Amino acid sequence: MSKAGEDAVWKAITGAGEHRVYVELRASADLVEKYGKKAVMVLAGRGISVTEAQKILSSGQTEEEIVRGVMESERDSLRRRFLAQKR
pTM score of the predicted model: 0.73
C-alpha distances (whole Å) from 2 to each of 5, 8, 26, 78 are 5, 10, 13, 37
Q: Contact 63/37 with Cβ under 8 angstroms?
A: no
In this model, does residue 44 exceed pLDDT 90?
Answer: yes
Could you report the per-residue pLDDT of 24-39, keeping only the tens digit for each? 889 999 999 999 999 9
Mean pLDDT value across residues 58-79: 90
Mean pLDDT value across residues 13-30: 81
